[in-house]
């Protein structure tokens, strides 16, 4: 466990800012959505079906995949990369406090780290990224901080819409949007709608999100189906629940293969509870604003070296 | 040394060891103690392979290790221990391995109910969480016997998850919630707007009261041995604020030293965890 904890004092905000600018200027290639046909090699009922990084290892190499290998750091193998990565972006406030800055500076720095992570994920062939931006418990934070975060989310969505469209990033927003300011709700709907046909990478942003409430909402939706006479309670299955979860906005890879949590905290904090059943967890001491390319490579390397058994034996 | 002398020496050493433990555990109780620890007992087969034992022997050694760890937990004052003994996914293993595990389960459950075991020493109440109907008949009957025999015990609780996955537990809770609402007439349109309007939507609390863990607080620590860092469909709902730990030793190698370290780690982060729990409670109130 201690081997997965990592302190990276050499990376700082200025370094990230410069390298993230360079990466943005490089741009990224468009590619078409993969998956589907190769997944049928694994049985439908098997949990590995929803974890394509296992079944994708059976896919034949193609020209596109060979080009991707050239962009990958040397010891990362494309067939062993996770298809869906989730991140709990923890530590912005502590990062700022350690530097004598207000927490808003930490959140701004965190945003730049996120931009870089999305860019790297696109380059390396990661198909979906889910980030925990704001938890339903975060509403109890000081009002000033909460207002700043809501304003930050609005500004980021407004300013980045052009970039999402250029880079082919499809945005999904999950969480209880009814608690968000009206202007943010409207903007979020607009961004989701305008980017729905993008295919480069799916970016799910969890705002005002709670894993337990998500499951409860799915239950309410199923209860409505029961009320409408479409389903009997005894016929409800796990598939019915999965269809109603918000992460079903990416039907091909709804469950993360890898979940990264920064800042040394060792818990899930109500994030993707159902979806993390078989997810590999990676914890690092690094605060989110300091999480750079080297840390991401370390997380992916750790994932690559793990043996995923899904309850069975692999001889 | 004769056999009688060896027995006397062993008894003295045993007593000294228990005294030492009691003194050591007293030191710990000055700090915050976890009330509920959950274990994923991973690494039994790898232990057997490492020590060239026959198939199934690793699980027997693992059971002995479990009894020792349970004793230490209850001596430390931990009120609830939950263990992940057998997942629904494990049924996909080879039939002879599954059969062996079912037989071992039945044998060990019956053994626990004997005299002079930790069940009687601590007045344990045993629960079995999961789809018990999926177990072999002897194992299922043994589990039900154990639950009935210990139902009135007032001591600490041992919850054993067999034929269990967390997603299945949540599914059963959802089915129960929907069935309850149907029975209350809330999920059938009655044409009576007063009656239809009186029904409330299913809430988080409704699901929680229908989970297997309904009368059990969430775990404070979740330990998965053998260094693997995933939950494997164990207590997903309940572990939202749980401190996750993955020590490297295989389950049969997990010792008192590892348990003490786990509790020290928990005590280190306790102030932060407690602040998060209070904030979560404030949000719900």
pLDDT tens digits along A251-276 = 888 999 999 999 999 999 999 999 99
Phi, psi (rounded to 5 degrees) for B37? -120, 135
Residues 115-144 of A with CB under 8 A from B: 136-137, 139-140
A-B C-beta contacts closer than 8 Å: 146
pTM beyond cutoff 0.95: no
Chosen for mutation from A48, A255, A267, A305 (greatest number of chain B CBs closer than 10 Å) is: A267
A239 touching B (Cβ < 8 Å): no
Question: Is residue B104 a contact partner of residue B63, using CB atoms and an 8 Å limit?
Answer: yes
Q: Which two tokens stand for residue B34?
A: 């976890």
> Is residue B80 classed as helix, strand or coil in its secondary structure?
strand
In angstroms, the CA A93 to CA B133 distance is 49
What tokens appear for B235 in the block?
Answer: 């207590």
- Cα angle vertex B260, ends B259, B262, to 5°? 65
User: What is residue B26's predicted lDDT score, i.e. its pLDDT?
Assistant: 83
Question: pLDDT digits over A49-66, tens only?
Answer: 455 444 444 444 454 555
What pLDDT score does A15 carry? Answer: 36
> Rounded distance, CA B216 to CA A287, Å?
34
Residue B88 near chain A (CB below 8 Å): yes
Reported confidence tier of residue A70, pLDDT bands at 50, 70, 90: low
* Nearest neighbour of A211 by CB, restricted to B45, B202, B240: B240
Q: What is the pLDDT of residue B22?
A: 84
Distance separating alpha carbons of residues B230 and A276, to the nearest angstrom: 8
Q: Is B125 at the interface with chain A, CB within 8 A?
A: no
Q: Can you tell me the distance from the alpha carbon of A56 to that of A58, in angstroms, rounded to the nearest whole number?
A: 5
> What is the least distance, in Å, from the CA of A233 to any CA of chain B?
5
Q: Residue B166 to residues A173, A177, A254: CA-CA distances in angstroms?
A: 26, 27, 17
Structure ipTM: 0.87
* pLDDT tens digits along A170-188: 999 999 999 999 999 999 9
Burial class (CB in 10 A: 0-12, 13-18, 19+), B193: exposed
Q: List all residues of chain A from 180 to 209 with a beta carbon under 8 Å from chain B.
A: none
CA atoms within 13 A of residue B74's CA, in its CB half-sphere: 20
Q: Which residues of B are tagged catalytic?
A: 42
8 Å CB contact between A188 and A108 = no
């Amino acid at each position: 466990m201690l081997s997965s904890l990592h302190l990276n004092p050499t990376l700082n905000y200025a370094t990230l800012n410069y390298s993230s600018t360079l990466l943005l200027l490089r741009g990224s290639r468009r590619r078409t959505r993969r998956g589907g046909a190769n997944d049928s090699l694994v049985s439908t009922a098997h949990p590995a079906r929803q974890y394509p990084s296992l079944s994708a290892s059976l896919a034949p190499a193609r020209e596109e995949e060979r080009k991707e290998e050239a962009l990958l750091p040397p010891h990362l193998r494309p067939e062993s990369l996770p298809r869906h990565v989730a991140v709990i972006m923890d530590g912005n406030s502590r990062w700022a406090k350690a530097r004598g800055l207000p927490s808003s500076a930490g959140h701004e720095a965190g945003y730049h780290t996120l931009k870089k992570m999305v860019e790297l994920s696109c380059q390396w062939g990661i198909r979906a990224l889910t980030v925990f931006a704001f938890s339903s418990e975060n509403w109890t934070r000081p009002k000033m901080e909460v207002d700043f975060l809501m304003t930050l989310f609005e500004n980021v969505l407004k300013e980045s819409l052009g970039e999402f469209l250029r880079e082919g990033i499809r945005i999904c927003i999950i969480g209880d949007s009814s608690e968000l300011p009206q202007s943010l709700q409207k903007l979020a709907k607009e961004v989701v709608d305008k980017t729905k046909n993008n295919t480069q990478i799916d970016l799910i942003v969890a705002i005002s999100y709670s894993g337990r409430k998500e499951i409860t909402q799915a239950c309410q939706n199923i209860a409505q189906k029961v009320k409408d006479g479409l389903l009997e309670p005894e016929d409800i299955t796990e598939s019915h629940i999965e269809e109603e979860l918000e992460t079903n906005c990416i039907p091909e890879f709804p469950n993360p293969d890898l979940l990264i949590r920064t800042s040394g905290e060792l818990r899930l904090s109500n994030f993707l509870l159902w979806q993390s059943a078989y997810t590999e967890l990676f914890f690092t001491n690094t605060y989110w604003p300091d999480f750079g390319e080297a840390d991401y490579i370390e997380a992916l390397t750790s994932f690559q070296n793990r043996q995923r058994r899904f309850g069975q034996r692999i001889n | 040394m004769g056999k009688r002398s060896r027995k006397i020496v062993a008894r003295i050493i045993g007593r000294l060891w228990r005294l030492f433990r009691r003194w050591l555990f007293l030191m710990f109780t000055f700090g915050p103690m976890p009330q509920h620890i959950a274990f994923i007992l991973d690494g039994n087969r790898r232990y057997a392979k490492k020590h060239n034992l026959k198939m199934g022997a690793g699980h027997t050694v693992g059971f002995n290790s479990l009894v020792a760890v349970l004793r230490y937990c209850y001596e430390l004052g931990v009120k609830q221990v939950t263990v992940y003994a057998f997942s629904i996914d494990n049924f996909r293993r080879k039939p002879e391995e599954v059969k062996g595990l079912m037989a071992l389960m039945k044998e060990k459950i019956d053994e626990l109910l004997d005299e002079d075991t930790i069940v009687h020493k601590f007045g344990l109440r045993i629960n079995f969480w999961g789809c018990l109907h999926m177990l072999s008949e002897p194992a299922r009957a043994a589990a039900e016997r154990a639950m009935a025999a210990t139902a009135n015990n007032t001591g600490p609780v041992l919850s054993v998850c067999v034929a269990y996955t967390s997603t299945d537990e949540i599914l059963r809770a959802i089915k129960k919630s929907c069935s309850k609402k149907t029975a209350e007439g809330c999920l059938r349109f009655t044409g009576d707007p007063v009656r239809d309007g009186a029904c409330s939507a299913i809430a988080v609390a409704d699901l929680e009261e229908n989970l297997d863990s309904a009368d059990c607080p969430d775990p404070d620590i979740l330990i998965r041995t053998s260094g693997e860092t995933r939950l494997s469909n164990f207590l997903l709902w309940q572990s939202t604020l749980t401190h996750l730990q993955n020590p490297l030793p295989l389950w049969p190698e997990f010792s008192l030293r590892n348990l003490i370290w786990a509790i020290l780690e928990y005590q280190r982060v306790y102030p932060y965890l407690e602040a998060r729990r209070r904030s979560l409670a404030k949000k719900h109130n």
